[in-house]
Amino acid sequence: MKLDIYVNYAGKCEEAFRFYEQHVGGKITMMMTHEQQPNQANVPANRKKAILHARIEIGKTVLMGADIPGAEPMRSAYLTLTVDRAEEAERLYALLSDGGQIFMKMEETFFASRFAMLRDKFGTSWMLLHERSSSATSARLPEQPRL
């Protein structure tokens, strides 16, 4: 079993995916507009260039998306990027927060050397995380209840 993520954009899917490919290290593996689908007779002229379905691989995760009229920015869900270096967390923070909305500025927390929460200019919500070493983390995190 595999869980993937699907995000709807209000006309910015291609721009967002190309941005993520260029700056976040993703690889677009599919991008189809409504005019490219086999049965497009009922597609309004103003929707023909809109993305019907796109797919990008970021690390081992697949993000899919489409342009949906009236789509709103993500609310209570985040794409979480866990990076190996604090400098990479800072780079991504500067890049993704530019033109977006910061919910929690990049800072050190009890569980991470760098952590931030934001929504980028495309409406995608992100958590950026550079974890502490496992020995430091386990010493600071409270014990979880057993289920």
- Specify the pLDDT at position 143: 53
* Whole-prediction pTM: 0.85
For the chain, give every domain's residue range. Answer: 1-71, 73-147
Rg of the Cα atoms in the chain: 18
pLDDT-derived band of residue 140, with 50, 70 and 90 as boundaries?
A: very low
Sign for the CA dihedral angle at 24, 27, 28, 30 comes to negative
- Write out the DSSP string of 56-99: EEETTEEEEEEE-TT-----S--EEEE-S-HHHHHHHHHHHHTT
Q: What is the mean pLDDT of the chain?
A: 91
- Specify the pLDDT at position 68: 96
- On whether the 73-147 domain is CATH 3.30.420.40, my answer is no
| Whether pLDDT at 147 is above 80 | no
Which strand ranges, in their side-by-side order, compose the sheet holding 79-82? 79-82, 125-131, 112-119, 101-107
Instruction: Write down the architecture of domain 1-71 according to CATH.
Output: Roll (3.10)
Q: Render pLDDT for 49-96 as a digit per residue (tens, 0 to 9).
A: 999 999 999 999 999 999 999 999 998 899 999 999 999 999 999 999
- Specify the pLDDT at position 134: 56
Higher pLDDT, 133 or 4: 4
| Whether pLDDT at 116 is above 60 | yes
